């Protein structure tokens, strides 16, 4: 029997952990795992094709939806191959990657000032999902980022340009490195530096 309920659907390349329990056979509680589908050889794979009773195995879905859209996972007792249990899983397209600002960037910044900006990445199954930061404006210098790429929710430091650009705004963008069609952008108003008073004694007129 399955220990826990197997998923009814999985996105391509996604992984899940499965366990089965063997009862009434303490002498040999090993099971063999197999997967079948309508596209032989492209049904996904296990990290191990054998496991002990109640020990986890990891199944990874195929890289493409197989013919018929389903795969069947089967655990068979090695002590008695007439005893097995199976689960059918529907393979679905990947959930689209999304990029959002983790904390809203400032609405306005003075020239040459700095601010931390963070982006959150969702549904990216790559080993180390990142976004690349860019900035555009109507001037030749629009500001800079350090670092230029960050992982989900990690901060980059944005430095505003040294002068107010034409139009008064810059647009900062975080773009998924895994899927460059997924990004998030916002405009920041760039303001002149606040005036400073020279050293001296000042009298407020009446």
Q: How far is the C-alpha of 72 from the C-alpha of 23, rounded, in Å?
A: 22
Q: What is the predicted pLDDT for the residue at 125?
A: 78
- Higher model confidence: residue 1 or residue 180? 180
Q: How large a percentage of the chain has pLDDT more than 70?
A: 93
Q: What is the predicted pLDDT for the residue at 204?
A: 60
Question: What mean pLDDT do residues 70-91 have?
Answer: 94
Q: What is the predicted pLDDT for the residue at 95?
A: 85
45, 60 Cβ separation under 8 angstroms: yes
What is the per-residue pLDDT across 38-80, written as a single tens digit (0 to 9) for each?
999 999 999 999 999 889 999 999 999 999 999 999 999 998 8
- Residue 104: band (very low, low, confident or very high) from pLDDT cuts 50, 70, 90: confident
Q: What is the predicted pLDDT for the residue at 94?
A: 85
Q: How far is the C-alpha of 73 from the C-alpha of 44, rounded, in Å?
A: 10
Q: What is the predicted pLDDT for the residue at 201?
A: 59
What is the per-residue pLDDT across 144-171, written as a single tens digit (0 to 9) for each?
999 999 999 999 999 999 999 999 999 9
**Host H or E run for residue 47:** none
Question: What mean pLDDT do residues 125-136 have?
Answer: 92
Q: What is the predicted pLDDT for the residue at 198?
A: 61
């Amino acid at each position: 029997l399955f220990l826990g309920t197997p998923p009814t659907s999985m996105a391509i390349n996604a992984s899940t952990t499965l366990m089965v329990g063997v009862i009434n056979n303490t002498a040999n509680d090993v099971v063999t795992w197999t997967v079948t589908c309508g596209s032989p050889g492209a049904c996904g794979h296990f990290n191990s094709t054998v496991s002990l009773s109640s020990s986890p195995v990891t199944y990874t879905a195929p890289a493409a939806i197989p013919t018929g859209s389903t795969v069947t996972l089967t655990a068979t007792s090695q002590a008695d191959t007439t005893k097995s249990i199976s689960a059918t899983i529907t393979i679905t397209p990947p959930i689209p990657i999304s990029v959002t600002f983790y904390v809203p960037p400032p609405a306005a910044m003075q020239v040459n000032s700095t601010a931390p900006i963070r982006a959150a990445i969702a549904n990216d199954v790559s080993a180390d999902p990142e976004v690349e930061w860019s900035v555009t404006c109507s001037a030749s210098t629009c500001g800079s980022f350090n670092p230029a790429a960050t992982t989900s929710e990690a901060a980059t430091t944005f430095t505003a340009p040294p002068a107010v650009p034409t139009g008064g705004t810059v647009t900062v963008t975080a773009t998924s490195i895994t899927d460059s069609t997924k990004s998030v952008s916002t405009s920041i108003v760039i303001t002149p530096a606040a005036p400073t008073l020279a050293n001296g004694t000042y009298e407020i007129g009446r």
